[in-house]
Structure 1
Amino acid sequence: MVEVLEDKRTATTLRVLVEIAERQPAVSQSEIADAVGVTNQAISEYIQDLIEDGYVTSEARSRYRITNEGVDWLYRTVREMQVFSEHVTDDLLGGPPEDAAIAAADLAAGETVTLRMVDGLPYADPDAEGAATGETTRAAAAGEAVGVTGFEGVIELDPGHVTVRQVPPVRVDESVDTDALATAATDADLVVAAGVEAVVALRSAEIEPAVYVAGGAVAAAAAERGLDVLVVATRDAVGRVTDPLRDRAVSYDVA
């Protein structure tokens, strides 16, 4: 279960941090108290805890700002809520009654399987243990696509991380550190290029990008499926890559 739904204090901390983010730097504790539905004294204590945890800094009386650590905590928490919400809305309420997975072994129709994510793809495994289970709708040989229905639980998945590595645009006379690109690529499950210069830079490092269109959207979708992604982009294209990552609360860094 999502922590924010299990612990009332975590849920209130989330609301307080969101209110600070909306009002910073001039923050009225009484306004936050009214919005959250607790006393001014309680809000003061929550803010003090957030400062001690490193999520908020105090510039002066009634002037607060969220730190990078606070932003990261918000992203992680909201992402957990998003995944849970998608499970409820898609899998339990209005989603398709049958979904596809790759058979991890020979399967019979009506067999109970555990759903797990491998390299960004769902596998139906009759022998594995996990929180997400379902029932096959037909027989399938190992490696074939199989329909799964009657879902229970949530697939155990650690979201991936996106590294955005910058290369110079064509108008700049600057060499590319191909060794650094090669090293970064070894740690990635997926390599994406954003722009012609990025494709050429990767190929000069003897790396063929898997994708060279819609880099930010592709990286965000891959990270949500648990893949670590390297996106190579020119400096002036970095914003177009990071915007989708921020919109979908994907963990990333820019090098």
Structure 2
Amino acid sequence: MASPYEFRGKGSITLTLMMIELLKGRRKLREISSDLGITPQGASIYIKNLQKLGYVDSESTPTREGIAFLQQMLADISLFVEQAYRDSGIISSCEAIAGDDLKKGENVYLEMVDGLLYAFKKGSSGSQGIVTFSASKGDPVEVSKIRGIIKYRPGNLFIVRVDFDGYTSAGFRKLGEFHKEKQINFTGAFGVLAYKFCQRASLDVSIFAPVEGCIEASVKGLNSLLVYSPEMSRFLFKKLSENVDKYKINPKFTEL
């Protein structure tokens, strides 16, 4: 038998809504059924079920057990909604850089520029929103009531393995040339050897959360390069497996 705390269980959502209605105080069954979009007979059945579960008493007043049930259900639903928003990438508000002088309440178009989200008065983006407060061009601004999908093309994520045998002037030169050829915007070094390799190739490199940084950069439309050391291989593939499906990325493993 399904747990009553499993909000996706049969009738659990309606039981939760019924509990919320009963917490509003004494109301006629007809009013409750109208608000819930069910028949008075259906509402009566749900109340009887709540009484059998011990969630309301004979006067249809929520009990301590009923309040605990409601709290757990609301917590489960909140967690589900939070995960759904995160997994689907859907947002209702966001921060952006004002691409123009913007006024509160103004409609704006959201566009990704060099990995950063901008809000413009005019645009061809499929995503629009409303400015929450006035902001000058170049300042951060909050955009709410977002609708549509931001149109942008994900960048490439190149992954290069380096080793001690290649730690030579020729190896440094090849890495630098590859970086220039692929127009890399963000470089991450995973491992000490990888960091020194990038440093000798005169690359501006990040050593903090390099895998995650490269993934995020490519997701936001930038070309990223992840250079890793042999000893970091097992950690690299674990991190990639955790994020490839989530962010729909396609890493390109490359040899110099």
Q: TM-score, normalised by structure 2?
A: 0.58
1:52-89 per-residue CA deviation (whole Å, 9 max, x = no partner) reads xxxxxxxxxxxxxxxxxxxxxxxxxxxxxx999524xx
Match of 2:194 in 1: 198
Whether the aligned pair in 2 keeps the contact of 1:216 and 1:240 (CA below 8 Å) is no
Match of 2:227 in 1: 232
- Would you say 1:165 and 2:167 are equivalent positions? no
1:104-145 per-residue CA deviation (whole Å, 9 max, x = no partner) reads 111111111110111211100112111000010111111100
Whether the aligned pair in 2 keeps the contact of 1:216 and 1:242 (CA below 8 Å) is no
Structure 2: gaps of 5 or more residues: 1-83
Aligned equivalents of 1:116, 1:144: Cα separation in 2: 15
Aligned equivalents of 1:221, 1:194: Cα separation in 2: 15
Identity %: 24
Give the superposition deviation at 1:173.
7.9
Aligned equivalents of 2:97, 2:222: Cα separation in 1: 17
- Would you say 1:143 and 2:138 are equivalent positions? yes
Give the superposition deviation at 1:168.
0.9
Give the superposition deviation at 1:213.
2.3
- Would you say 1:253 and 2:246 are equivalent positions? no
Aligned equivalents of 1:105, 1:165: Cα separation in 2: 39
SS at match of 1:251: coil
Whether the aligned pair in 2 keeps the contact of 1:216 and 1:243 (CA below 8 Å) is no
Aligned equivalents of 1:173, 1:231: Cα separation in 2: 16
Alignment of 1:67-146 (within 5 A): 86-87=88-89, 90-91=90-91, 97-146=92-141
Give the superposition deviation at 1:174.
4.8
Higher-strand-fraction structure: 1
SS at match of 2:193: helix
1:231-253 per-residue CA deviation (whole Å, 9 max, x = no partner) reads 11112323423433333222112
Match of 2:55 in 1: none
- Would you say 1:175 and 2:171 are equivalent positions? no
Aligned equivalents of 1:216, 1:179: Cα separation in 2: 23
Structure 1: gaps of 5 or more residues: 1-81, 92-96
Aligned equivalents of 2:252, 2:238: Cα separation in 1: 12
1:162-211 per-residue CA deviation (whole Å, 9 max, x = no partner) reads 11111114xx58536112211222221101111111121111111120x1
Poorly superposed stretches of 4+, deviation over 3 Å: 82-85
CA distance 1:122–1:189, shift in 2 (3 Å): same
Aligned equivalents of 1:100, 1:174: Cα separation in 2: 43
Match of 2:204 in 1: 208
Whether the aligned pair in 2 keeps the contact of 1:192 and 1:219 (CA below 8 Å) is yes
Whether the aligned pair in 1 keeps the contact of 2:167 and 2:197 (CA below 8 Å) is no
Whether the aligned pair in 2 keeps the contact of 1:160 and 1:251 (CA below 8 Å) is no
Which of the pair has more CA radius of gyration? 2
Q: How many residues align?
A: 164
CA distance 1:83–1:159, shift in 2 (3 Å): farther
Whether the aligned pair in 1 keeps the contact of 2:99 and 2:138 (CA below 8 Å) is yes
